[in-house]
């Protein structure tokens, strides 16, 4: 069960283990509780976004990226900014540009879903804690 508050960019979540409900924030928020960390799997760099339950400490992995998806994200973000600026200036967004943005955003989403499928169940080594864990996503 997730509920998004777009004004504060927060999300209400429930821990899969202890069922505690709590709010997470992302990005550069002062009390951000989401984190992105780089891991190396068979010579490939992946970036995992996660949050920890404040009650029981369970780590919830919610997104995966690699260099390709980060490049796709950068392109989608640039398109979004261009469309947002045009809309703010009162300009009408051409259907072709809107469709191109939606297609790029969907392509990024599909790519990330494929990465999740590819890496779910893989044994990952965390250099910070010098421990191994099996990757599972909480989405």
Quick one: which of 61, 55, 11, 71 has its CA closest to 36?
61
Q: Identify which of 69, 97, 72 has the alpha carbon closest to the alpha carbon of residue 84.
A: 97
Domain residue extents for the chain: 3-134
The predicted structure's pLDDT at residue 28? 55
| Per-residue pLDDT in tens (0 to 9) along the chain, 139 residues | 444 444 456 788 899 999 999 888 765 554 556 789 999 998 899 999 998 898 998 999 999 999 999 999 999 999 999 999 988 999 888 899 999 999 999 999 999 999 999 999 999 998 888 999 999 998 7
pLDDT of residue 106: 97
Element (H, E) at 14: strand 10-14
Strand locations in 15-107, DSSP E?
21-25, 34-41, 44-52, 59-65
At 26 the pLDDT is 66
What global pTM score does this model have?
0.80
């Amino acid at each position: 069960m997730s509920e998004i508050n777009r004004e504060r960019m927060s999300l209400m979540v429930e821990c899969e283990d202890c069922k505690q409900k709590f709010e997470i924030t992302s990005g550069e928020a002062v009390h951000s509780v989401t984190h992105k960390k780089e891991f190396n799997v068979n010579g490939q760099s992946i970036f995992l976004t996660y949050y920890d339950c404040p009650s029981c400490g369970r780590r919830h992995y919610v997104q995966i990226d690699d260099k390709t998806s980060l490049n796709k994200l950068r392109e989608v973000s640039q398109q979004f900014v261009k469309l947002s600026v045009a809309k703010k200036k009162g300009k009408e967004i051409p259907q072709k540009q809107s469709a191109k943005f939606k297609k790029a955003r969907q392509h990024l989403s599909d790519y990330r879903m494929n990465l999740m499928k590819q890496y779910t169940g893989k044994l990952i080594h965390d250099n910070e804690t010098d421990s191994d864990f099996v990757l599972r996503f909480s989405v």
